Amino acid sequence: MTKRFESEHILPILDHGHKHFGENKVQEAMLKWPELKKKYKEIKLHLIGKLQTNKVKFIFPLFDYIHSLDNIRLAQKISLAQKTINYKPKIFVQVNIGNEIQKNGINENDLNSFLSTCQNELKLNIIGLMCIPPNDDMTVSYFKKLKDLNDKYKLKQLSMGMSADYLDAVKLGSTYVRIGTGIFGQRS
């Protein structure tokens, strides 16, 4: 994840052949990625952070993946935008795996209905689930729970794990991990 890192920090990794990058904020991505994506055609840009509905119009076609679909209003907005420009990003549904009041995401009990609406009515390209587990030393159990949900809904991709816990996430089937600090170091 390249949030708060300037292009000069990213270029050595691009030149080394890395293709997938994550950004946390739409505004920051709009400043640094259009030119980089012109030069490096293979780049796949992932929106990792919270996507506000008023920013949807800015994400196409800059972002190839959205990891944070967390409510029906946002799903409707993405659906409308993708029809307008004929571009379908790959989307992960964010699950509030620990039922934390302060975190975004779909509650496990609402997941079946939400996925059905997104896939069948809104025609979104849902490829998997995503979570940010609670910070309570039970990360592995949350990852296992999300993996089981992903399997239940026959989704092929899974977005879980960050710099501190990505090895556990990969052991439990994560296909996309969000590593920034582990690659770029601490942010200023």
Structural domain of 23 = 7-184
CA distance 152 to 179: 27
Q: What integer pLDDT is reported at residue 182 of this predicted model?
A: 47
Q: What integer pLDDT is reported at residue 80 of this predicted model?
A: 96
Q: What integer pLDDT is reported at residue 101 of this predicted model?
A: 87
C-beta separation of 124 from 78 below 8 A: yes
Q: What integer pLDDT is reported at residue 181 of this predicted model?
A: 54
AA identity, residue 10: I
| Residue 54 lies inside a defined structural domain of this protein | yes
| Residue 128 lies inside a defined structural domain of this protein | yes
**Left if phi > 0, otherwise alpha if psi is -120 to 50, otherwise beta: which for 17?**
left
| Residue 18 lies inside a defined structural domain of this protein | yes
| Residue 2 lies inside a defined structural domain of this protein | no
CA atoms lying within 13 Å on the CB side of residue 84: 12
Of 166, 171, 90, the C-alpha closest to 133 is 166
| Residue 115 lies inside a defined structural domain of this protein | yes
Q: Tell me the whole-structure pTM to 2 decimals.
A: 0.90
CATH number (domain holding residue 40):
3.20.20.10
| Series of mean pLDDT values for 10-residue runs along the chain (188 residues) | 59 83 89 90 92 92 94 97 92 94 93 98 98 90 96 96 81 84 52
| Residue 153 lies inside a defined structural domain of this protein | yes
Number of domains in the chain: 1
AA identity, residue 29: A
| Residue 1 lies inside a defined structural domain of this protein | no
